[in-house]
Amino acid sequence: MNAERIMAFARAGVAVEVVDVTGSTNADLLARAPQLAAPVLLIAEHQTAGRGRAGRSWLSEPGHSLTFSLAWRFGDGLRALAGLPLAVGVALAETLGRLGQSVQLKWPNDVLKDGDKLAGILVETHVQPDGAAWTIIGIGVNLVMPDALEDRIGRGAASMPWLARMDRDELMAALLDGLADALALFARAGFVPFAARWNVLHAWAGRPVVLLDRGEVRHEGLAAGVDDTGRLLLDTAAGRITIVAGDVSLRTTD
């Protein structure tokens, strides 16, 4: 991938860097956060220590996925970031939809294709002395899923072979523009403008689910979407409850 070509294709005006290999693009940008002056997109052709939510690993192979992180500053700090991973999911899903790939969203931060995981999102933050926060938005997207890699992952994983044939720089520019537009809107209005859009893309709307916390069932009910702050709405036998994002896994029971 070529940083100059990506910036030429994109309209976002964000600096782009490409490295052949690194441990984690999120870790790299977090280490640089105190010195950052403007948004930057860091792309790795290969990550050797990619990270997912709750300390999980993100496994990938060179040439078969997109692995990148976008550093973006929010002046209002952590208190203004509720629902951000879900808004990023909306931006990814809608951009992929415009490129001909129909995908759905799983709360709180997965993109699914045909029921299997296609992309994951990890948002980490660095708070500055003035209270502003640099968010490091890490994303991994499967383009091709070799059988050997799927075996290592240990569960079904989706891919996008049609988009894998697209010019990678143009594809990355389209994703960057979609993300930049969404983050600018989120900075102005929070998650509210994204809630209905997320619910339209909800993979398990109306389906029975259980919520697991460290392997233990905490709640059961029907998944009813998200509210204006990004909390999951769950219709249980005792009534509707809201779930805040955390170390929780969502599994369908039907």
| pLDDT of res. 161 | 80
The dihedral built from the CA positions of residue 194, 197, 201 and 202, taken in this order, carries a sign that is positive
Tell me the C-alpha distance between 43 and 21, whole Å. 9
Cβ-proximal residues to 109 (8 Å cutoff; 6+ apart), any chain: 53, 85, 86, 88, 89, 120, 121, 122, 123, 245
Residue 187 scores a pLDDT above 80: yes
Return d(Cα 186, Cα 66) in angstroms, integer.
Answer: 24
Q: Which residues are catalytically annotated? A: 53, 117, 251
Query: Cα(90)–Cα(197) distance, rounded to whole angstroms?
Result: 7
- Give the global pTM: 0.89
Query: Which segments of 84-227 does DSSP mark as H helices, in order?
Result: 84-98, 147-153, 161-164, 168-189, 192-200
Per the structure block, which two tokens stand in for 45? 């052709």
pLDDT surpasses 70 at 245 = no
| Lowest mean pLDDT segment, chosen from 16-25, 140-149, 213-222 | 140-149
In this structure, which amino acid lies at residue 108? P
Mind listing the pLDDT tens digit for each residue in 32-61? 999 999 999 999 998 887 555 545 555 556
Fold (CATH) for 208-252: SH3 type barrels. (2.30.30)
The stretch 165-180 carries a mean pLDDT of 95
Q: Where are the domains of the chain?
A: 3-200, 208-252
Q: What is the mean pLDDT of the chain?
A: 87
Q: What is the pLDDT of residue 217?
A: 83
- Residue % of the chain over a pLDDT of 70: 86
Mean pLDDT of the 92-105 span: 94
Closest by CA position to 135, among listed 174, 169, 182: 182
Mean pLDDT computed over 154-169 = 75
Closest CA to 177 of 16, 1, 2: 16
Mean pLDDT of 110-118: 90
**Which pLDDT value is given to residue 253?**
66
3-200 and 208-252 share one fold: no
Query: Considering the domain 3-200 in this protein, what is its CATH number?
Result: 3.30.930.10
User: Once rounded to an integer, what is the mean pLDDT over residues 108-135?
Assistant: 92
In this structure, is the dihedral angle defined by the CA atoms of residues 6, 138, 24 and 131, taken in order, positive or negative? Answer: positive
Cis peptide preceding 62, ω within 30 of 0: no
| For range 115-119, the mean pLDDT | 89
Looking at residue 22, its pLDDT comes to 93
For residues 44 and 40, what is the distance between their CA atoms, to the nearest angstrom? 13
